[in-house]
Amino acid sequence: MGDSTGRETLSALPAQSSKTPRFTLILLACLMLQSFSFRLPTAQEPGHSAQLLSVHVTKPPHWEKGCLSLSLDRTNNASFPIYIPAPGLDIYTSASQVPDLAGAKERETWIPVYGISDVLNMDAKPLGPRATIHDEVCLSPTVGVESRGREAYRWIPLRGKLMIDTSYYLSEEDWKRNEAAVHERLHTPPNQWDKIAHHPPEGTTIFAIIPCHEIGCNTACQSPPPVLRGENRPIPDVFHDNAEWIARGKALGLELAIKSPTCSEDITAPR
């Protein structure tokens, strides 16, 4: 799905679970995505932004003990407290969407790898003036994506760059207004949601380069992995152990590998 800024984002569509009705999962996903609107990134130096809530990469992303390690500081630059939602930090990995039509160009898209959940949590905590939250994040080297139309599931590597998106409310009142709006939607048919005032949080977005696993890797290892239109990260992820979906996903991955440059350090096993 595309956001209002024109940035293409792969939807975190909920997958059907035997325990939870599909409609309920879709409703919760919509509520989460509406409560935290995607924002237009501003021009900034890599790894740093000078906003009301500044975000600074204190240690560049690096591979350590089988994961992509990332260290961040989120600092309140205001002279008054701001409110940080839980978790208030979403991270996406880049991907390259393969064009449907011959001659069309590939387009950059984003897949969530950290922060977004099927659990609706509207809590927020104050962050005092000049106070800092330090985050140590360990990202899996791969992320699972599904193609519901093809009934296929596969893993793609984290490559290219990370988009780090943070959220905050200017006041406790703003937080409570958004919380009330989300709860009101829980009791309102989706076709009437546009009648409810929307109060999304503010935000800061930065980018960070994902390094290669090995020194001297080939050019393909510096490029985002290819995905097809309709491939999404399922939330919740209920297809990661579905043998039939995985088999079709492997076939799909081989098909894309033939059309795209091969990375010398591609990860084939997600475990």
Q: What is the pLDDT of residues 91-144, one digit of tens each?
A: 999 999 988 766 567 789 999 999 988 788 889 999 999 999 999 999 999 999
- Residue 233 is assigned to a structural domain of this protein: yes
Q: How many domains does the chain have?
A: 1
Inter-CA distances, 106 with 117, 221, 227, 228, 249, Å: 28, 17, 10, 10, 21
**Is residue 155, in this structure, part of any structural domain at all?**
yes
| Amino acid 170: pLDDT | 94
pLDDT value of residue 44: 45
Kindly state the average pLDDT of the residues 29-46: 44
List the domain range (segments joined by +) for residue 36: 22-189+198-259
pLDDT band at 181 (very low <50, low <70, confident <90, very high): confident
Q: Which two tokens stand for residue 73?
A: 């500081």
Is residue 66 included in any domain, yes or no?
yes
In a domain, 72, yes or no: yes
Question: Could you tell me the end-to-end alpha-carbon distance of the chain, in angstroms, rounded to an integer?
Answer: 29
Which of 125-129, 183-187, 205-209 shows the lowest mean pLDDT across its residues? 183-187
For residue 10, being part of any structural domain is answered with no
pTM, whole model, 2 decimals?
Answer: 0.80
At residue 104, the pLDDT reads 65
Task: Tell whether 174 is covered by a domain.
Answer: yes
Name the residue type at position 74: R
